[in-house]
Amino acid sequence: MVVSKAWTLRQHFQGFPKASDFHLREETLPQPKNGQVLLEAVFLSVDPYMRPYSQTMMKEGDVMIGSQVAKVIQSYNPSFPVGCHVVSDCGWRSHWVCDGAELTPLLPDWPQDIPLSLALGAIGMPGLTALYGLEEVCEIKKGETLLVNAAAGAVGSVVGQIAKIKGCRVVGCAGTDTKVSYLKELGFDQVFNYKTVTSLEESLREAAPHGYDCYFENVGGKFSSVVMPQMREYGRIAVCGSISMYNDTTSQTGPYVHTYMIFKQLRMEGFLCARWKHKHQQSLRRLMAWMTEGKLRCNEHITSGFNNMPAAFMGMLQGDNIGKAVVKNTASEIMEAAEDRGTR
């Protein structure tokens, strides 16, 4: 028997999440049966989507949703031998038993000098989200001007770099001067700190006097209301997130976008990367190629310790991270779990 740790949603969030909204419990897992594997978390992801999903997809007491890079430590499934690494959507769990149906193996030729944690970032869901938002939704073209907000995050930082690879002019904004400096290092053409500028409207206009062909939306709310008048005719907007609204206790209202949508003939589309699941393997290989060629760079904000999952999640929501926020299951926790297996 294996005793797994799991973080659950003690109570639905009211406004910004609090430590008391989470509960750490232990659960005894069954011995894997024929066709099953036992997983041990190595890296766990914390992402903005978890906040709105918790309201609509979870009940109080459920294990927090999320992905992890896990190691197979016991296997009765020949497709997943002991020692291999997979991406699992089993949530905030230290261990899990499953039949492998929903597991995604890492790319078989994963380079040794590329951290496995990037399977939760640029070579994973955030990277795919960036790629599909630009290619499938925005249908971005060489020479166009792109605006991306929350640009120093896991998705935004990849969005800007892919747009540069495609020969576009990229304008990004972020919430600290350190993040602004990071984005400049990545090759963004214009970057500003939206928290310190005198006028968001004027800063956007100065960065792109002729307007924006494409807008990769991660923030929502008032920010988007300011962007709409500066979209160019036939502009395309990929709506990936609205993090500025996730913790609202009162719903935001207008201004509304309809007039600009009509007279500028804009196309605005929300999307989830799972729509293009049939392309994932090919797309991950493209992202990995850019990474190994040095065209794609990624920063990670790594928190040590499974017990720090809630703190990492809350820190990510308030913008502590540059790049992808990840939690590393520490060696001491893994050792403790192994000792527990040995005494049961």
Categorize the per-residue pLDDT at 253 as very low, low, confident or very high, splitting at 50, 70 and 90: confident
Overall average pLDDT of the 268-277 stretch: 97
Please check whether residues 150 and 267 belong to one and the same domain: yes
Q: Which two tokens stand for residue 285?
A: 């290989």
User: Is 291 part of any domain?
Assistant: no
Whether 162 and 266 share a structural domain: yes
How do 68-75 and 231-239 pair as beta strands? Answer: unpaired
246 domain-assigned = yes
Q: Would residue 133 count as lying in a domain? A: yes
Chain position carrying tokens 């120093």: 152
Q: Are 145 and 212 in contact (CB under 8 A)?
A: yes
Domain residues for 172? 125-275
User: What pLDDT is stored for residue 341 in this prediction?
Assistant: 55
Do 8 and 41 have their domain in common?
Answer: yes
Q: What is the CATH number of the domain that holds 60?
A: 3.90.180.10
Q: What is the CATH number of the domain that holds 265?
A: 3.40.50.720
Same domain, yes or no: 164 and 47: no
Give me the pLDDT at residue 251, please: 85
User: What percent of the chain has pLDDT above 70?
Assistant: 96
- Average pLDDT for the chain: 95
- DSSP annotation of 137: I
Judge if 215 and 194 occupy the same domain: yes
Distance (Å, rounded) from C-alpha 71 to C-alpha 88? 10
Mean pLDDT within 218-226: 94
Q: Give me the half-sphere count of Cα atoms (radius 13 Å) on the Cβ side of residue 32.
A: 20
In the sheet that holds 231-239, the strands lie side by side as 190-193, 169-174, 145-148, 212-217, 231-239, 267-270
Residues 335 and 216 in one domain: no
Task: Give domain status of residue 27, yes or no.
Answer: yes
Q: pLDDT-based confidence at 336, cuts 50/70/90?
A: low
Strand ranges for the chain from DSSP E? 2-9, 22-29, 37-45, 68-75, 85-88, 95-98, 104-105, 145-148, 169-174, 190-193, 212-217, 231-239, 267-270, 300-304, 324-328
Give me the pLDDT at residue 153, please.
97
Structurally, the chain folds into a number of domains equal to 2
Q: How far apart are the C-alpha atoms of 177 and 322, rounded to whole Å?
A: 11
Q: Are 200 and 335 part of one and the same domain? A: no
Is residue 134, in this structure, part of any structural domain at all? yes
For residues 306, 308, 314, 319, the Cα torsion angle rounded to the nearest 10 degrees is -90
CA distance 234 to 40: 48
Look at residue 331 in the predicted model and tell me its pLDDT. Answer: 60
Same domain, 245 and 327: no
Residues 92 and 175 in one domain: no
Alpha-carbon distance of 18 to 41, in angstroms, equals 24
pLDDT on residue 338:
56
Peptide bond into 255 cis (omega under 30): yes
Global confidence as pTM:
0.94
pLDDT tens digits along 162-174? 999 999 999 999 9
Looking at the structure, do residues 250 and 264 belong to the same domain, yes or no? yes
Share of the chain above pLDDT 90, in %: 92
Check whether 342 has a pLDDT greater than 60: no
For residue 334, the model assigns a pLDDT of 58
AA identity, residue 291: M
Q: Which of 275, 292, 317 is the last residue of a domain?
A: 275
Q: Is residue 286 part of a domain?
A: no
pLDDT at 325: 98
Q: What is the dihedral of CA 296, 284, 212, 268, to 10 degrees?
A: -160
Residues 163 and 34 in one domain: no
Q: Say how far apart CA 95 and CA 306 lie, in whole Å.
A: 11
Separation between Cα atoms, residue 245 and residue 249, nearest integer Å: 9
pLDDT at 254: 80
Q: How far apart are CA 133 and CA 122, in angstroms?
A: 14
The mean pLDDT of 58-87, rounded to a whole number, is 97
The per-residue pLDDT for range 307-324, each reduced to its tens digit, is 999 999 999 999 999 999
Strand partners, 127: none
Give the pLDDT confidence of 13-67 residue by residue, as tens digits: 999 999 999 999 999 999 999 999 999 999 999 999 999 999 999 999 999 999 9
Domain assignment of residue 260, yes or no: yes
- pLDDT of 340: 58
Domain assignment present for residue 290? The answer is no
pLDDT on residue 252 = 86
130 and 236 share one domain: yes
56/263 Cα distance (integer angstroms): 34
Q: Is residue 175 predicted with pLDDT exceeding 70? A: yes
